[in-house]
Amino acid sequence: MTLTPAELTSAVSGGIGTSPQRPDGNLKVRGEFAYASDLWHEDMIWGATLRSPHPYARIVSVDLTEALKVPGVYAVLTHSDVPGRNQYGLEHKDQPVLAVDVVRYQGEPVALVGADHPETALRAMKKIVVAYDVLEPVVDMETAADSAPLHPGGNLVRHVPIRRGAQDLQADVVVSGRYEVGMQDQAFLGPESGLAVPAADGSVDLYIATQWLHVDRAQVASALGLPEEKVRLTLSGVGGAFGGREDLSMQVHACLLALHTGKPVKMVYNREESFYGHVHRHPAVLYYEHGADHTGKLVYVKARIYLDGGAYASSTPAVVANAATLGVGPYEVDNVTIDCYGLYTNNPPCGAMRGFGAVQAGFAYESQMDKLADALGMSPVDVRVRNAMTEGSVMPTGQVVDSAAPVAQLLKLVQDKPLPAGTSSDIRELPGGVSNTTHGEGVVRGVGYAVGIKNICFSEGYDDYSTARVRVSMVNGSLAAAVHTAACEVGQGLVTIMQQIVRTELGIERVTVLPMDTTIGNGGSTSASRQTYVTGGAVKAACAAVRSRLDGRVDIGSEVIDETVEWRHRATEALDPVTGQGNAHVQYGFAAHRAVVDVDVELGLVRVVALDCAQDVGRALNPQAVVGQIQGGSAQGLGLAVMEEIQTSGGKVRNPSFTDYLIPTVLDMPPMSIDVLELADPHAPYGIRGVGEPPTISSTPAIVAAIRAATGLALTRVPVRPEHLTGT
């Protein structure tokens, strides 16, 4: 008998559209899941990294003599020990593995120590003598382009202009503003860690927590001067990522130490080092001008956006393109003038973080929409609905949005949700909580709305694909499947999704997810909300190949059916360098939030009382995981709205700890009611739309809008601090 996939779906449980338990859930609750920091190897030693204390300095000399004398030290390495190319980077190879004659940010790696105990390594590190000639750092993104060049090509990493329609229009109502976004940290809980194990033939195995095995491997091999096949990467347990693991941290360093000493080397950052060890969200300064007619219809939007990329390029070029192309938000505007700049400075390097350029623009354009509503005497929802994009709308890039864009519907969904009861009399539910700062006096309530847009998958003509292998054989008399990719599970639940897809496509309930490693082809990055789309698409395609060989059989004897498929989404185009026109993106995702806040206006304390969200996900392959993503993304947006910022002064980080860099606790998070729309995208596998990032974009401006509604203050900067509310 031959079954169609649809018939098979009903035959097995745990397919798409259901919420089966994660395959790694049991291990995780038992404490038996092996994260990168849990790895252990016979005879292993510990690696540590000496970092620059200065944001900008020339290295005059490095003296390793005393460090090498510390008992228990196996190696102390500098740039001269890097056998291959001492430069790496995601888009521009501008970052040294170990600094040569200059350091460009505080925390830049200068030397490595390998020792028998982490404490020995720390003590040896303190004995390395580096003489620096301290230079004046460049720290202001708005003037950086005209400052002394930090790199040979100057301090402008990328400029993306958008020119659409008429460029010099008048409008009945004009609002303008200058907005700022502080530097947010991904603050994943599992610190950067890995274990490098050298082999006798000069090759190396690296067990690592990362977002992208193949691009890590290419960069590691280049730095080690090895062919790629001599560098093997296996994903170990990843304790969250959110963009912060897309760049290298200790990958090359651990391998260098391992190859140099001939011993397995483990490196684990502590929290302070983690703040220096990965890129952050770009701080931004954004100038906006919106013109509208009397009915609230947008006539034009003009914007000038600066993104501080810090000392090295990382993914700044792509972040700049996102902020520019998504810079007006999910609205129809015929006349757009945008200039977006990414700059080098001596601030910490910035790169990928959930929302990737769309977050910074989102805070500014949504603040502007509220300002416009105010100027017109319209409600914030009405002015947004008046301009809401729909399917068929044209982006500022000229790209037509060719699948569902239910912007007005999402806003209405959050607007129609019941509002929470009035300000509580339980101090645990008031701003300040059990610090007992108020019993309700001086507390004002406000409600705010926001909606956002995010591109899904990689853009601008990038060859974005994933590779999946599905193997089917008989186990104990019935068919069993195994699925193998190099796509990184970082906590989001890709392992569950892959099992669900195989169950649905093949009607096989028992599906094993094989370790993710570089013995199979590229899985692409776990970023841009793309893995369910692209790796999901690849797994689905590999299943189709297996299915045609299965040909309906439920007993294949000793045969093993093993198919590997490379799958890519439809192609995108580069942006025109002068007009910024082009079909640059694959898919757009949308989410809307309504935030309700209580503000103690005397002390400047904010409590978010409710944070409800509606999002279109095309199709919810795993409804429970979808809601989990939306809630988690909303929480990170709340963090940016009211608490999270890496504070720098003269390029130095002032708060590299969880004592001083605050992320939301369970006391800071309100209940979040989530509405999920499933308007299928005909271009995507199963109609899905990427889920992870959109909620991070609209959460922040909705909360700030609610605080403005409560206080009447302009609030043009996030995070909003108590002093912004009290004026002290």
The residue range among 134-142, 231-239, 506-514, 587-595 that interacts with other proteins, by the rule CB under 8 A, is 231-239
Q: In sequence order, what are the residues at sequence separation of 6 or more whose Cβ sits closer than 8 angstroms to the Cβ of residue 111? A: 49, 50, 62, 64, 76, 77, 78, 98, 125, 128, 130
For tokens 């089966």, the residue is 20
SS3 232: strand
Amino acid in the structure at residue 175: V
| Assigned token pair, 563 | 């198919």
Residue (186 or 403) nearer to ligand FES, CB: 186
The residue range among 393-401, 468-476, 662-670, 720-728 that interacts with other proteins, by the rule CB under 8 A, is 662-670
Asked if 421 contacts 414 with a C-beta cutoff of 8 angstroms, the reply is: no
Q: Which does 529 bind (CB under 5 to 8 A by kind): ligand FES, other proteins, none?
A: none
From the list 361, 483, 625, 684, which residue makes contact with other proteins (rule: CB under 8 A)?
Answer: 625
Q: Does 91 bind other proteins (CB under 8 A)?
A: no
From the list 8, 14, 16, 22, which residue makes contact with other proteins (rule: CB under 8 A)?
Answer: 22
Task: State the chain's maximal CA–CA distance in angstroms.
Answer: 78
| Assigned token pair, 207 | 């067990």
Extended strands (E) in 408-554 = 443-456, 465-475, 478-485, 511-513
Q: Which does 137 bind (CB under 5 to 8 A by kind): other proteins, ligand FES, none?
A: none
DSSP 126: H
Residue (581 or 631) nearer to other proteins, CB: 631
CB of 21 to ligand FES, least distance (A): 15
From the list 200, 421, 434, 578, which residue makes contact with other proteins (rule: CB under 8 A)?
Answer: 434
Between the alpha carbon of residue 173 and those of residues 244, 262, 289, 299, 371, the distances in Å are 41, 70, 10, 9, 11
Q: In sequence order, what are the residues at sequence separation of 6 or more whose Cβ sits closer than 8 angstroms to the Cβ of residue 23? A: 495, 496, 499, 513
Q: Could you tell me whether strands 109-115 and 73-77 are parallel, antiparallel, or unpaired per DSSP bridges?
A: antiparallel
Interaction residues for other proteins, span 370-429 (CB under 8 A): 426, 428-429
Interaction residues for ligand FES, span 460-519 (CB under 6 A): 491
Interaction residues for other proteins, span 459-518 (CB under 8 A): 490-493
**Could you give the CA distance from residue 473 to residue 480 in angstroms, rounded to a whole number?**
6
Q: Which does 56 bind (CB under 5 to 8 A by kind): ligand FES, other proteins, none?
A: none
Q: Does 189 bind ligand FES (CB under 6 A)?
A: yes
Of how many residues is the chain composed? 728
Residue (629 or 711) nearer to ligand FES, CB: 629
Site string for other proteins, 575-614 (x = CB under 8 A): ----------------------------------------
Q: Does 207 bind other proteins (CB under 8 A)?
A: no
| Assigned token pair, 272 | 């302070």
Residue (284 or 488) nearer to other proteins, CB: 488
Residue (153 or 671) nearer to other proteins, CB: 671
What are 224's strand-pairing partners?
Answer: none
Q: In sequence order, what are the residues at sequence separation of 6 or more whose Cβ sits closer than 8 angstroms to the Cβ of residue 168? A: none
Q: Does 240 bind ligand FES (CB under 6 A)?
A: yes
Q: Which does 26 bind (CB under 5 to 8 A by kind): other proteins, ligand FES, none?
A: other proteins
Q: Which does 238 bind (CB under 5 to 8 A by kind): other proteins, ligand FES, none?
A: other proteins
CB of 236 to other proteins, least distance (A): 12
CB of 119 to ligand FES, least distance (A): 17
CB of 555 to ligand FES, least distance (A): 41
Q: Does 188 bind other proteins (CB under 8 A)?
A: yes
Residue (1 or 29) nearer to other proteins, CB: 29
CB of 273 to ligand FES, least distance (A): 14
SS3 218: helix
* Residue (of 385, 394, 387, 392) closest to 413 by Cα position: 385
By CB under 8 A, the count of residues binding other proteins is 63
What's the 3-state SS for 611-669?
Answer: EEEEEECCCCCCHHHHHHHHHHHHHHHHHHHHCCCECEECCEECCCCCCCCCCCCCCCC
Residue (84 or 118) nearer to ligand FES, CB: 118
Amino acid in the structure at residue 55: P
Interaction residues for other proteins, span 268-297 (CB under 8 A): 268, 270-271
E strand or H helix at 130, and its extent?
A: strand 129-134
Q: Which does 30 bind (CB under 5 to 8 A by kind): ligand FES, other proteins, none?
A: other proteins
- Residue environment code for 639-658, b if the CB has 16+ CB neighbours within 10 A, otherwise e: bbbbbbbbebeebbbeebee
**Could you give the CA distance from residue 433 to residue 607 in angstroms, rounded to a whole number?**
9
CB of 53 to other proteins, least distance (A): 20
Between the alpha carbon of residue 345 and those of residues 87, 138, 490, the distances in Å are 18, 5, 30
CB of 611 to other proteins, least distance (A): 9
Amino acid in the structure at residue 270: N
Interaction residues for other proteins, span 114-153 (CB under 8 A): 117, 119
SS3 458: coil
Q: Which does 728 bind (CB under 5 to 8 A by kind): ligand FES, other proteins, none?
A: none
By CB under 6 A, the count of residues binding ligand FES is 3
Ramachandran area for residue 329 (φ above 0: left; ψ -120 to 50: alpha; else beta)? left
From the list 61, 659, 682, 727, which residue makes contact with other proteins (rule: CB under 8 A)?
Answer: 659
From the list 53, 72, 317, 628, which residue makes contact with other proteins (rule: CB under 8 A)?
Answer: 628
* Residue (of 503, 516, 451) closest to 621 by Cα position: 503
Asked if 512 contacts 482 with a C-beta cutoff of 8 angstroms, the reply is: yes
Residue (461 or 623) nearer to other proteins, CB: 623
CB of 676 to other proteins, least distance (A): 14
From the list 53, 154, 240, 442, which residue makes contact with other proteins (rule: CB under 8 A)?
Answer: 240
Q: Does 666 bind other proteins (CB under 8 A)?
A: yes
CB of 240 to ligand FES, least distance (A): 5
Residue 541: Cβ within 10 Å count: 20
Q: Which residues contribute to the site for ligand FES (CB under 6 A)?
A: 189, 240, 491
Q: Which residues contribute to the site for other proteins (CB under 8 A)?
A: 19, 21-22, 24-26, 28-35, 37-38, 40, 117, 119, 186-191, 237-242, 268, 270-271, 426, 428-429, 434, 490-493, 624-625, 627-628, 631-636, 657-659, 663-667, 669, 671-672
